[in-house]
Structure 1
Amino acid sequence: MFLSPAAAVLLLLPTVLCFTSSPTSRNSVGNTVGLDNYSVNENASSTSSLIPELNDASRSISSNEQLLPSSPFGVIFDMDGTLIKHSINFAEMRQRIYEVVDADPIGKDLEKDCVLEMPQRLTEEGQRKCHEVFVDIEQRAVDNMQLQDGGAELVQFLIESGLKTAVLTRNMEKNVAHMMELYKNEMSINDDVTIFEPIVARNTKANPDDDEPLKSKPNPDGILHICKLWGCEPSEVIFVGDSANDDMSAANRAGCGGAVLLQPGGCQLDTDSGYAVGDTEAEIMERTPSLCVESLSDLKLCIESVLDEQEKNDVVQSEVSGEEDNYVYSSDSFSVTIPSIGVKGV
């Protein structure tokens, strides 16, 4: 199972908690906050729509199963469609890359696959043309980049709460830097302050001397790399993304404590890069989120609830016991004995 067990019960506001399945069933794509029903974007390709299979996926929500880790260490964000509004035209990207592939002496004999990986198998000329397509589409997305609603407030809250924040994206590092500047401006943060650390993009190497960059999502290597740098376990991390294929698969394969699927407006958008996905029960489970939210503001409410519950548990677990005129104060993080001081009444 991909989710961490919990000793404490996660409290979610009943006014925003609902399930995608019927009230008589406890099987769903996970708990949904602020999202009554899924709907498919009318412009999305049929290959990218996972809504029917997600609704059929079975993840039981038992009383001892956490939707998010009870003591989160940090939050890893996808960028496109998550921290910023969906602006990359994947349908155009697939069409243009496949046209290059079909015209390439090597590519014409290849089976259509992920548009981010196929260029590596083409001739040098084919790779150059694919690079031009990526630059064109991604530059237009950068020019039209807008922050996701509620994003700045969520990131500000996480930083103030002492949680780490990082970005894992299939976009390029330079485009992530532009996104980070927009967040800094919105949050009124100085340029010398880093709000996302580390940033892992499709051209990021785990070590400078490595020949190849880290494998992109749905491979879990990027998440594991970030956890290693943070010095924490994946079970202590929440991963947030808008793609079931890429983001939820990567999060579940890495063993993240929370796999949060963001569906703004309740819509499944076209984020399909063209690779085939399996339909076995295990493969569907990999794409199944533990929590679905309609907005980053709803996610902020959920994390606030988790942190409030954690604080309450710390207070409950802190015990004061008198023993031989000493007071012993203890909690999960510390224990100290203080000699009792007698004070006579006056």
Structure 2
Amino acid sequence: MLLRNHLQQACKRGSKFATSGVVPFLPSASMSSQQSSKRIIRGIVYDMDGTVVVPVIDFNEMRRRCGVVQGDILDVINSRSKEEQDRAYAIIAEIEEQALQQMKLMPGALELLQHTSSIPRGLITRNVMSSVHHFHNHHLIPAGVPPFIPAISRECNYEYKPSPQALLHICNSWGVSPSEVIMVGDSAKDDIVCGNRAGALTVLLDYNGMHNYEQQDLQGELRPTYLVRSLPEFHNLLQKEFQLVPPPHPHAAIEARDAR
């Protein structure tokens, strides 16, 4: 019950890339063998579906049943009448509820989250909070892994990714600069743009090269700091390139967050 209240409070306020191995995209992402010290990271924010849990939602079927042919499905639905919105969100809720029964962690997720438990970890998802609760209560807490706090779902009062609004809120709640945070996700147009606009480091998870990104596909705001093919690769990247250091005033950050 305490965890549920905690999460609800957060709501209120040219060539193909290598098929394996971490790919650094930006000059600042050069490997640590060329650096004198590791970069300090004070928090990590994750996307959920397709990043820390295996994607099982059939978005093509969701679009078909909601009658959304083009554009962002949530934006299109929100532009409709209240009655049409209710009908579409009922369909989405039905599909998401079915997906809960198939939810499982991405390979390497548990080990990664255990390794990073010394620093804050947040979640920004376009899924619903009931799915976040299921994720926490059935997959993290039983394994002794602390839940994501804050965890921001689509019901929360923040603009959807790629807006950086939710990410900036998380950084503020932790009392850290966005430049000390990593945003991790499997969507270049949502997660990476969100992180880049906030001023965070960004890691694009292209699981096993599924999206087969080309150099020209990831330009401008779509360009991540790193591209990885799995969560174990990201785990190795953290160990090699970064020093995980908790926020300097974690208690003040928690008090500020809980006061919202």
Match of 1:243 among 183, 187, 190: 187
* 2:210 counterpart of 1:267: yes
Deviating above 4 A after TM superposition, structure 1's stretches of 4 or more consecutive aligned residues are 64-69
SS for the counterpart of 1:227 is: helix
* Residue type of the alignment partner of 1:261: L
Q: Distance in 2 between the 1:302 and 1:150 partners? A: 13
Q: Determine which of 98, 105, 121 is the counterpart of 1:165.
A: 121
Q: 1:200 aligns with which of 114, 138, 152?
A: 152
- Equivalent of residue 71 in structure 1, options 40, 44, 54: 40
Whole-Å separation in 2 of the counterparts to 1:199 and 1:81: 16
How far does residue 233 in structure 1 lie from its aligned partner after superposition? 0.7
Query: Aligned partners of 2:187, 2:48: CA distance in 1, in Å?
Result: 11
**Equivalent runs, 1:248-327 vs 2, <5 Å:** 248-256=192-200, 258-268=201-211, 284-307=219-242
- Identity %, equivalent residues: 31
> Given the two structures, how large is their TM-score scaled by the length of structure 2?
0.77
Q: Is residue 73–residue 232 contact of structure 1 (8 Å, CA) maintained in 2?
A: yes
Query: How many Å apart are 1:67 and its aligned residue?
Result: 7.3
Higher relative contact order (CA 8 A, sep 6+): 2
Please tell me whether residue 92 in structure 1 is matched to residue 61 in structure 2.
Answer: yes
Say whether the 8 Å CA contact 2:29–2:225 is kept in structure 1: no
SS in 2 for 1:88: coil
Matches within 5 A, 1:175-190: 175-185=131-141, 187-189=143-145
Contact in 2 for aligned 1:152/1:186 (Cα 8 Å): no
1:125-148 Cα offsets, whole Å, 9 max, x none, are 211210111111111221110111
Q: In the TM superposition, what is the alpha-carbon distance from 1:119 to its structure 2 partner?
A: 2.0
Contact 1:32 1:291 survives alignment (8 Å): no
Paired position in structure 1 for 2:91: 133
Asked whether the 8 Å contact 1:241–1:262 carries over to 2, the reply is: yes
1:215 is paired with a residue whose SS is coil
User: Do the aligned partners of 1:240 and 1:247 also contact (CA within 8 Å) in 2?
Assistant: yes
Provide closer, same or farther for how the CA distance between residues 218 and 32 of structure 1 changes in structure 2, counting only shifts above 3 A: farther
Could you tell me which runs of 5 or more consecutive residues in structure 2 were left unpaired when the two chains were aligned.
1-13, 33-37, 249-260
Superposition deviation, residue 188 in structure 1: 3.2
Note if contact 2:22-2:237 (Cα within 8 Å) is conserved in structure 1: no
How many residue pairs match? The answer is: 225
Q: Call closer, same or farther: CA 1:66–1:195 in 2, change over 3 Å.
A: farther
- The answer to whether the 8 Å contact 2:22/2:233 transfers is no
2:81 maps to 123
Deviation for aligned residue 1:217: 0.3
Specify which of 130, 139, 156 is matched with residue 174 of structure 1: 130
Give the corresponding residue for 2:161.
217
Residues 216, 67 of structure 1: alpha-carbon distance in 2 compared, 3 angstrom cutoff:
farther
User: Paired residue for 1:10?
Assistant: none
The letter of the residue matching 1:89 is D
8 Å Cα contact 1:220/1:254 also seen in 2: yes
SS at match of 2:39: coil
Structure number with higher helix proportion: 2
Quick one: structure 1 residues 215 and 32, their matched pair in 2 at CA, closer, same or farther if it must change by over 3 Å? Answer: farther
Q: Which amino acid aligns with 2:225?
A: S
TM-score, normalised to structure 1's length?
A: 0.59
Does structure 2 conserve the Cα–Cα contact (< 8 Å) formed by 1:264 and 1:294? Answer: yes
Aligned-residue CA RMSD (Å): 3.0
Q: Rate the CA distance shift 1:92–1:261 in 2: closer, same or farther, 3 A.
A: same
CA-CA distance at 1:290 after TM superposition: 1.3
Instruction: Check 1:147–1:125 CA distance in 2 against 1; reply closer, same or farther (3 A cut).
Output: same
Is the Cα contact below 8 Å between 1:35 and 1:266 reproduced in 2?
Answer: no
Which amino acid in structure 2 is aligned with residue 183 of structure 1?
H
| CA pair 122-304 structure 1, distance change in 2 beyond 3 A | same
Shift in CA distance, 67/202, structure 1 to aligned 2, threshold 3 Å: farther
Task: Measure the CA separation in 2 of the matches of 1:185 and 1:222.
Answer: 24
Q: What SS does the aligned partner of 1:116 have?
A: helix
Distance 1:237-1:248 versus aligned 2 partners, 3 A rule? same
